[in-house]
Amino acid sequence: MPHKIPEISEDFPARILTIAGSDSGGGAGIQADIKTITMLGGHALTAITSLTAQNTQGVTRIDVIAPEMVIAQINAVMTDIGVSAIKIGMVGNGEVAIALADYLEKFPDIPVVLDPVMVATSGSTLADDKTIAAYDRLMFRADLITPNIPELEILTHQNIQSDQQLIEAGRQLAHQYDSPILAKGGHGEGAILVDRLILPDGQEYAWQDSRILTKNTHGTGCSLSSAIATSLGQGLSLKEAVTRARHYIRKALEKAPSLGKGHGPIGHTLGISAFDRWFLENN
């Protein structure tokens, strides 16, 4: 029987820590995570790994935060506020990735969703070879890894041209890291897209939907992983968390506001804020 999605509680919401880069355009990274976590009823905690100068057309500069500062941010909230679940996005460099792996080993019971951010929606590269190699330890720690097709190709050294190849690549990663893999099909061809959740024990689940025709997809992967982390922190099962997160992202894609000249952000607030809903219902 499905779990009931917890009601938003001002006194004790799920505390979701997002460890990611900052997007000055507000569509991806920490900014997207905060919006997503808030919309789904969680309390967002943050550890910024890098500062980026970017907009809907691309990334023009990346400044990585020192590993010591990244860990200090995490430790500050972990030791005071507490953390229900963790989402990891852009880590910045290999040194930060290793520092994160070392720290998170101390907290094996906190669910970790790892979005292996390597390429921005605009096509800009966000991870070098050393950083990709350092993902190894983080992926062993993750309770879910959420690669899209380009990331699957990088991680498995394969050229994925079909759904069957996507499945095989997902199975390879699930077996290699003993972690569930959400192999996302959004970069695939055709009018129908399939996301596949592949578990190390051989269980597999698939979600199939029609493609939403929009160029405003910036931050989709960031938002999906933080939505899953929020639901896990609220007590949903992994399958339920993925189902809920996908529904949220599809609605946000439909409500994308068409900002900027390139790949604009999705509609995180779904066209109306929580306050506006309250105001309209009570006045």
Per the residue annotation, which of 184, 188, 233, 264 is the catalytic one? Answer: 184
Extract the runs of DSSP E, i.e. beta strands, from 90-191. 112-114, 144-145, 181-183
Decide if 66 contacts 39 (C-beta within 8 A). no
Measured CA to CA, the distance from residue 81 to residue 2 in angstroms comes to: 29
49 is annotated as an active-site residue? no
Per the residue annotation, which of 18, 36, 217, 243 is the catalytic one? Answer: 217
Sign of CA dihedral 56, 100, 171, 144: negative
220 is annotated as an active-site residue? yes
Measured CA to CA, the distance from residue 247 to residue 41 in angstroms comes to: 15
Per the residue annotation, which of 29, 41, 221, 264 is the catalytic one? Answer: 221
217 is annotated as an active-site residue? yes
Q: Give the amino acid at 99.
A: A
Per the residue annotation, which of 222, 230, 233, 267 is the catalytic one? Answer: 222
Decide if 145 contacts 182 (C-beta within 8 A). yes
215 is annotated as an active-site residue? no
Record the tokens describing residue 102, joined without a space.
């070392």
Per the residue annotation, which of 220, 230, 233, 264 is the catalytic one? Answer: 220
60 is annotated as an active-site residue? no
Per the residue annotation, which of 25, 29, 185, 219 is the catalytic one? Answer: 219
170 is annotated as an active-site residue? no
Task: Tell me whether residue 249 is exposed, middle or buried, using C-beta atoms within 10 angstroms of its C-beta: 0 to 12, 13 to 18, 19 or more.
Answer: buried
Catalytic residues: 184, 217, 219-222
